[in-house]
Chains A and B, each alone.
Chain A
Amino acid sequence: MTSHKEYVCTLHLQKDIPKYDLMRVLKEYEGTLYQKPPVKSAVKRRVRTRKIHYITPIDIEEKDVLMKVGCDAGTYIRKLCYDIGLSLGCGASMKELRRTKTGVFGEDSTIMLQDLLDAKIFSIEENDENILKKYIFPYEIVLDPLKKIWIKDTAVEALCQGSMLTAPGVSKLQNGISKGDTVAIMTLKNEAVSISEAKMSSEEIFQKETDIVAKPFSVLMETGVYPRMWN
């Protein structure tokens, strides 16, 4: 499952509902729920489970409820609002929706399109690339939630060519990796090399001197940055 999401949405009720009932129903929806993707959707329409981590009402104005929802990736908020309406027995729909968090990204680090363009223009006019640089983060930040394995300089090029990581190439690693986990392979300079599937637990990687540690499914670093160290 991919990153968690947080949304702010307006739930529009068909009828006036006592605040107490509304709060009770919203509370009931926290936890695991079954959802079938709507008719118009990009994924296969079969019932699936998604977890709602929290529903926090922010403001209630007559029939409109402004609330914050934290949930798993792949949760349909429109569907959630509709279901809440059924539970209340009055019918409800989603009026507005805004995503406020995706994985490690919150609203605070965002930039509006216009400001990005301005930053670019100022950057050129003032001949100072730092103005634009401020808004572009190294792509390594998306790997934050993953456990990491750091590899020796000598192993980097081989991995960039797509080979698997073996135990002698490992320099250091985070504790708590289990077999089958998705891990990030990093250089000692903290550059991302690849996203891989761990073939051993942290304990095994630490103790073993041979065997495959991780198998890549996405190589991020280009070849030719580090030297070839094999014959």
Chain B
Amino acid sequence: MKGSNGEVLFKSKDKTSSRYGKRPEERSLNELLQKGIVNIDKPRGPTSHEVTSWVKKNPWYIKSRTLRNA
């Protein structure tokens, strides 16, 4: 087993069933609001906490969660 970093090793040949789950790029807007990220250009002044709270207070709630070690 050799090769550069990140080369993919296939341990078994599996297919994924279309009955469960969904590819991330096929998510609807509502699903993206649950499992999505917005990269906001924060202006000078308000703190990052304030900005996240404004975005979250929107009727279309944008869920943010802390990803530890990521």
Contact = CB atoms under 8 A, between A and B. Distances in A.
Query: Are A and B a genuine interacting pair, yes or no?
Result: yes
Which bucket holds chain B's interface residue count? 35 or more
Contacts of A137: 36-39
Interface string A193-213: 001000000110110000000
B23 A135 contact: no
A217 B69 contact: yes
A56 B58 CA distance: 39
Interface in A216-231: 217-218, 220, 225-227
B38 A111 contact: yes
Contact of A175 (B7, B16, B51): B7
Interface string A125-147: 00001001101111111110011
Interface in B1-54: 1, 3-12, 14-17, 20-25, 27-29, 32-33, 35-43, 51, 54
Contact of A111 (B1, B3, B41, B70): B41
B63 to A, nearest CB: 9
Contact of B9 (A2, A153, A206): A206
A113 B51 contact: yes
A146 B55 CA distance: 28
A142 B66 CA distance: 11
A116 B40 contact: yes
Interface in A102-125: 105, 107, 109-113, 116-117, 120, 123
B36 A138 contact: yes
Interface residues of A, number: 54
B51 to A, nearest CB: 7
Interface in A163-186: 170-176, 182, 184
Contact of B67 (A171, A195, A225, A227): A195
A209 to B, nearest CB: 10
Given A142-B37, A172-B9, A203-B1, A195 B70 contact: yes
A58 to B, nearest CB: 19
Contacts of A182: 69-70
A191 interface: yes
B47 to A, nearest CB: 12
Nearest to B12: A171
Given A172-B8, A175-B7, A189-B23, 17 more contacts: A2-B70, A110-B40, A113-B40, A113-B42, A138-B36, A139-B36, A146-B70, A172-B11, A174-B6, A174-B7, A175-B3, A182-B70, A188-B16, A191-B24, A218-B67, A225-B20, A226-B21
**A-B complex: 3 closest residue pairs judged by Cβ atoms:** A138-B24, A188-B16, A110-B41
